[in-house]
């Protein structure tokens, strides 16, 4: 079963200047005993050469596993939903439960939640994501801003240029710097027009 789950934002403060609203955004570790899966998709041209990528971390921000996947030529939405499916498959393969799943694609979250109609091109992927969330149990899928999803973005772009699917037991060197920044709590300024988070939980 899926439920909307309004989530707290990543803002540490909000300030106004010249009519602009700013927040501070960064990756946040999950609670003790919970894993976090961040995923992203990339499409160079939309449609164009596309990749998916993601990583699983524990409550200390330590690397558990990750992946990147060359998915051929497609649009950004299919790349985003493929990344969620691939990430959930990795979680399932590792036998993990109690997983927070984060993506910077609000549209992908809405599709999986069923709050908007799925387009035919991604119907099968959306159904796969829903099935995997039910199989894993205790999973929450939510939208975050891209600044909180930077490691997954690096891996998605790596997926554009690799052959096939690669799974990493250890973090590849290209993501090491951002992984460290996330672990020590580095945050970034983001200009906002409005502030809202949406999410969906599988149980």
Task: Identify whether 55 is part of a domain.
Answer: yes
Q: What is the pLDDT along the chain (203 residues), one digit of tens a residue?
A: 343 343 434 443 444 445 579 999 999 999 999 999 999 999 999 899 999 999 999 999 999 999 999 999 999 999 999 999 999 999 999 999 999 999 999 999 999 998 887 778 899 999 999 999 999 999 999 999 999 999 999 999 999 999 999 999 999 999 999 999 999 999 999 998 754 445 555 55
pLDDT at 2: 40
Task: Identify whether 193 is part of a domain.
Answer: no
pTM higher than 0.85, yes or no?
yes
pLDDT at 147: 97
CATH value at residue 38: 3.30.420.10
pLDDT at 194: 57
Domain count, the chain: 1
Task: Identify whether 144 is part of a domain.
Answer: yes
Structural domain that includes position 168 = 28-179
pLDDT at 192: 87
pLDDT at 115: 81
Task: Identify whether 174 is part of a domain.
Answer: yes
Task: Identify whether 32 is part of a domain.
Answer: yes
Task: Identify whether 88 is part of a domain.
Answer: yes
Task: Identify whether 169 is part of a domain.
Answer: yes
**Three-class SS of the chain:** CEEECCCCCCCCCEEEECCEEEEEECCCCCCCCCEEEEEEEEEECCCEEEEEEEEEECCCCCEEEEEEEEEEEECHHHHHHHHHHHHHHHHHHHCCCCEEEEECCHHHHHHHHCCCCCCHHHHHHHHHHHHHHHHHCCEEEEECCHHHCHHHHHHHHHHHHCCCEEEECCCCHHHHHHHHHHHCCCCEEEEECCCCCCEEEEC
pLDDT at 201: 59
Task: Identify whether 10 is part of a domain.
Answer: no
pLDDT at 13: 43
């Amino acid at each position: 079963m899926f439920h909307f789950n309004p989530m707290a934002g990543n803002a540490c403060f909000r300030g106004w200047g010249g009519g602009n609203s700013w927040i501070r955004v960064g990756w946040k570790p999950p609670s003790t005993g919970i894993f976090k899966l961040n995923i992203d998709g990339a499409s160079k041209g939309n449609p164009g050469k596309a990749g998916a990528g993601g990583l699983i971390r524990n409550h200390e921000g330590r690397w558990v596993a990750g992946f990147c996947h060359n998915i051929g030529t497609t649009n950004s939405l299919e790349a985003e939903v493929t990344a969620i499916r691939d990430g959930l498959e990795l979680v399932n393969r590792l036998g993990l439960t109690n997983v927070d799943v984060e993506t910077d694609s609000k549209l992908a979250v809405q599709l999986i939640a069923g709050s908007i109609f799925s387009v035919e091109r991604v119907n099968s992927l959306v159904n796969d994501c829903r099935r995997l969330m039910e199989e894993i149990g205790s999973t929450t899928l939510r939208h975050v801003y891209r600044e909180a999803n930077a490691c997954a973005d690096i891996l998605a772009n790596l997926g554009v240029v690799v052959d096939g699917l690669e799974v990493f037991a250890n973090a590849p060197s290209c993501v090491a710097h951002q992984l460290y920044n996330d672990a020590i709590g580095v945050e970034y300024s983001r200009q906002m027009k409005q502030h809202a988070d949406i999410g969906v939980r599988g149980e």
